């Protein structure tokens, strides 16, 4: 049972987890509760990412239940590489991939907190923190504006690390707790806001649209007639990626003229070569990727 208005809670099964070792030192009046209690509990819940891999069904039910109840959750390392899309219930792919960073940027702050995984996602909103040249470190996902947030933090914020200042870890954790408690309208802007300037080349298109733009291009390459095909279905069938009809319309309007060969080369340069090899490509016979 919760008492004395704690600002943070954890699951009792994680009380001795090395991934949350520093949590009681960072959060005043930290309390440990059962999973049923945690579903509707008001304080921010902190859980280790490895639990999402070890118990995906239980974790998904709890995280989605808290979000529906307007309650916030922060997920911290360790993470296991793989997809979190089903656990979060997100419309676009969210994946954890192996990558090492020493520090990262969040707003006007530079945090000297390292990590060994990053978050890859086609979601634009909620990308708070970024390790330049490596990937997204902080992602806050809300199913709806009235939902609670599920914050994925790839920085090792609650475990003991040699050479990392505990005060810096504490400041990061408390900043995340404060950020999820802020009304949605006042929340920090995403580091990957939808750009307003139309791209002049496929490279610029991919730089601006990131994973979502790559999924759109790959889906076009996977079908015989990309201007008539249902690219939402193609993305699911060939790439296992959720590409909404609204995103298809928006991206089609932003896509610059380019040959199929140019698109293939750009996708390869941006690290999507493996996906290119996986899809069928009847569109090779088409000289233009787009016809308005």
The per-residue pLDDT for range 43-57, each reduced to its tens digit, is 999 999 999 999 999
Expressed as residue numbers, the domain containing 209 is 202-285
Given 156, 186, 216, the domain boundary residue is 186
- Asked if residues 253 and 221 have their Cβ atoms less than 8 Å apart, the reply is no
Percent of the chain surpassing pLDDT 70: 88
- The verdict on 224 and 97 lying in the same domain is no
DSSP class per residue in 56-71: HHHHHHHHHHHHHTT-
Judgement on whether residues 29 and 99 belong to the same structural domain of the protein: yes
35 located within any domain: yes
User: Is residue 290, in this structure, part of any structural domain at all?
Assistant: no
Contact between 172 and 27 (Cβ < 8 Å): no
Lowest mean pLDDT among 36-45, 66-75, 281-290: 281-290
Predicted local confidence at residue 281, as pLDDT = 47
Q: Which residue has the higher pLDDT, 209 or 121?
A: 121
Confidence band for 232, pLDDT divided at 50, 70 and 90: confident
pLDDT at 1 over 60: no
pLDDT for 242:
67
Average pLDDT, the chain: 86
Mean pLDDT, range 28-47, rounded to an integer? 94
Residue 251 contacts by C-beta under 8 Å, 6 or more apart in sequence?
Answer: 209, 212, 213, 216
Phi-psi group of 49: left, alpha or beta (phi > 0 → left; psi -120 to 50 → alpha; rest → beta) = alpha
**Is 110 or 243 the better-scoring residue by pLDDT?**
110
Q: Which residue has the higher pLDDT, 213 or 79?
A: 79
Q: Are residues 39 and 175 in the same domain?
A: yes
Average pLDDT over residues 168-177: 96
- Are 71 and 165 within one domain? yes
Within a domain: residue 196?
A: no
Residues 107 and 24 in one domain: yes
Question: Is the pLDDT score of 287 beyond 70?
Answer: no
Whether residue 174 sits in one domain with residue 102: yes
Which of 32-36, 48-52, 194-198, 251-255 has the least mean pLDDT?
A: 194-198
Residue with the larger pLDDT of the pair 288 and 128: 128
Greatest mean pLDDT range, 77-86, 224-233, 272-281: 77-86
Task: Check residue 288 and give its pLDDT.
Answer: 39
pLDDT number for residue 2: 58
Q: Which residues contact 283 (CB under 8 A, 6 or more apart)?
A: 220, 221, 222, 223, 224, 225, 226, 260, 289
pLDDT class of 141 with cuts at 50, 70, 90: very high
Q: Which residue has better confidence, 103 or 282? A: 103
pLDDT recorded at residue 3: 53
Range of weakest confidence among 50-54, 61-65, 115-119, 196-200 = 196-200
Higher local confidence (pLDDT), 83 or 290: 83
- Give the integer Cα–Cα distance in Å for 58 and 96: 19
User: In this structure, is residue 193 part of a structural domain?
Assistant: no
| Geometric angle at alpha carbon 149, from 7 and 28, rounded to 5° | 10
């Amino acid at each position: 049972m919760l008492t004395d208005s704690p600002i943070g809670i954890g699951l009792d099964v994680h009380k001795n987890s090395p991934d949350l070792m520093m949590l009681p030192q960072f959060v005043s009046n930290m309390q440990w509760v059962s999973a049923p209690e945690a579903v509707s509990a008001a304080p921010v819940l902190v859980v280790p990412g490895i639990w999402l891999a070890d118990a995906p069904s239980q974790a998904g039910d709890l995280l989605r239940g808290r979000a529906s109840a307007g309650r916030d959750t922060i997920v911290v390392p360790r993470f296991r590489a793989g997809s979190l899309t089903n656990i979060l219930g997100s419309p676009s792919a969210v994946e954890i991939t192996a990558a090492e960073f020493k520090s990262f940027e969040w707003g006007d702050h530079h945090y000297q907190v390292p990590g060994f995984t990053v978050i890859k996602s086609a979601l634009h909103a909620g990308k708070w923190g970024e390790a330049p040249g490596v990937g997204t470190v902080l992602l806050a996902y809300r199913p709806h504006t009235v939902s609670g947030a599920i914050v994925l933090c790839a920085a090792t914020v609650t475990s003991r690390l040699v050479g990392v200042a505990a005060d810096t870890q504490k400041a990061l954790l408390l900043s995340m707790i404060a950020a999820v408690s802020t009304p949605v309208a006042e929340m920090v802007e995403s580091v990957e806001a939808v750009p307003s300037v139309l791209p002049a080349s496929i490279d610029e298109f991919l730089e601006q649209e990131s994973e979502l733009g790559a999924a759109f291009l790959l889906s076009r390459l996977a079908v015989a007639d990309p201007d008539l095909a249902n690219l939402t279905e193609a993305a699911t069938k060939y790439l296992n990626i959720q590409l909404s009809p609204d995103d298809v319309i928006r991206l089609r309007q932003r896509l610059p003229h380019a040959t199929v060969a140019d698109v293939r080369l750009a996708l390869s340069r941006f690290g999507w070569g493996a996906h290119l090899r996986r899809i069928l490509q009847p569109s090779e016979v088409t000289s233009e990727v787009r016809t308005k």
